[in-house]
């Protein structure tokens, strides 16, 4: 059985903590909520504890009290618990959970679908070919005989459509569609979920998008786009940081653009870089160079350098893909 390491956890532990990467996205929160319901159905005690809040648009998946923030914990971690880390294989990408929770549990276990060259010392179930972590969870639940309830179906379908861009990204497979069909039969409504994720943005988010898109620069004979969002841009629009999460995909709608870079500051001034690409350009290699990770065509990292410096460095990292052109 491919998922014996996870079955061992179920057979061994009764208390489970679930967490994911900083700034949770659709696949991360979907995986957490699906795993929560699956483990509760097996009689386990389960808590979702994250470093950052999830975007409000995913609130249809869970009750407010289901997802806790680690800085608000008012009880000590159970030393007999296991921590499941979902949708990232990097313990440095789970924020304050790495300090306040991870060292105080019996063990931790990673379930993820991102490529990584990092040495992972914990138990893990990583399928880099899977479209999403939620697709992996669908396989686990199916193989272990865990019933896919409507709540689980909604969460898994959410993660799959988010991380496949509604079934168009490169890792979308025949199995992805097969899993989606079963989830729809179990109660996931494609129209309602698409509307909730992609058509529920606020007016302030439109103002934020307009400001960010006005920063657009093109490089390498207009094959690489750069967007920038500073923290004052968020304040001026009256928007939330996470409401800019889909902007990186817009430049790639152009036939000519092969790489989209998005440098974004949060309200505290922390700078992140998101990278997207088409074809043979492996942006995961670039992200890993700066301590991040992801997929060949979708990756990111927290910048250890100021904006202008890291912007120049990343553009230079792309030079090998665009011979004969000028930055």
154-191 pLDDT per residue, tens: 999 999 999 999 999 989 999 999 999 999 999 999 99
Residue 3 — very low, low, confident or very high, per pLDDT cuts 50/70/90? confident
CB-based burial label for 185 (10 Å; 0-12, 13-18, 19+): exposed
Structural domains of the chain in order of their starting residue, each with its CATH number: 4-198 (3.90.1640.10), 203-321 (3.10.310.30)
| Per-position b or e across 92-110, b if 16+ CB within 10 A of its CB | ebbbbbbeebbeebeebbb
Which own/partner contact pairs does 274-277 have at CB distance under 8 Å and 24+ positions apart? 274/248, 274/299, 274/300, 275/248, 275/299, 275/300, 275/314, 276/248, 276/249, 276/252
pLDDT tens for residues 103-148? 999 999 999 998 766 656 678 899 999 999 999 999 999 999 999 9
Report the percent of the chain where pLDDT is more than 70. 97
User: For residue 119, what pLDDT is reported?
Assistant: 56
pTM for this one? Answer: 0.88
Report the percent of the chain where pLDDT is more than 90. 80
* 11-15, 29-33, 244-248: range with lowest mean pLDDT: 244-248
């Amino acid at each position: 059985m491919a998922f014996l390491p996870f079955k061992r956890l179920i057979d061994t532990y009764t208390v489970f903590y679930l967490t994911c990467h900083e700034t949770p996205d659709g696949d991360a929160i979907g995986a957490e909520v699906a795993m929560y319901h699956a483990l509760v159905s097996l009689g386990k005690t389960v808590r979702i504890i994250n470093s950052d809040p999830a975007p409000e648009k995913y609130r249809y998946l869970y009750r407010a009290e289901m997802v806790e923030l680690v800085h608000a914990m008012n009880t000590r971690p159970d030393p007999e618990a296991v921590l499941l880390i979902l949708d990232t294989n990097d313990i440095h990408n789970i924020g304050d959970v790495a300090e306040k929770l991870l060292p105080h549990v019996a063990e931790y276990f990673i379930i993820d679908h991102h490529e990584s060259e990092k040495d992972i010392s914990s138990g893990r179930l990583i399928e880099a070919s899977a479209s999403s972590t939620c697709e992996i969870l669908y396989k686990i639940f199916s193989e272990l005989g865990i019933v896919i309830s409507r709540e689980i179906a909604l969460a898994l379908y959410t993660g799959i459509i988010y991380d496949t861009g509604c079934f168009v990204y490169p890792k979308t497979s025949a199995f992805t569609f097969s899993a989606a069909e079963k989830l729809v039969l179990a109660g996931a409504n494609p129209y309602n979920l698409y509307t909730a994720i992609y058509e529920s943005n606020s007016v302030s988010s439109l103002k934020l998008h307009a400001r960010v898109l006005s920063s657009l620069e093109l490089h390498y004979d207009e094959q690489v786009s750069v967007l920038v969002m500073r923290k004052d841009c968020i304040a001026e629009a009256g928007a939330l940081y996470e409401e800019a999460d889909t902007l990186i995909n817009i430049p790639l709608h152009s036939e000519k653009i092969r790489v989209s870079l998005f440098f974004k500051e949060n309200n505290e001034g922390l700078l992140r870089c998101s990278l997207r690409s088409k074809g043979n350009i492996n942006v995961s290699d670039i992200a890993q160079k700066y301590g991040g990770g992801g997929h060949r065509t979708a990756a990111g990292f927290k910048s250890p350098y100021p904006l202008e410096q890291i912007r120049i460095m990343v553009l230079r990292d792309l030079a090998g893909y665009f011979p004969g052109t000028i930055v």
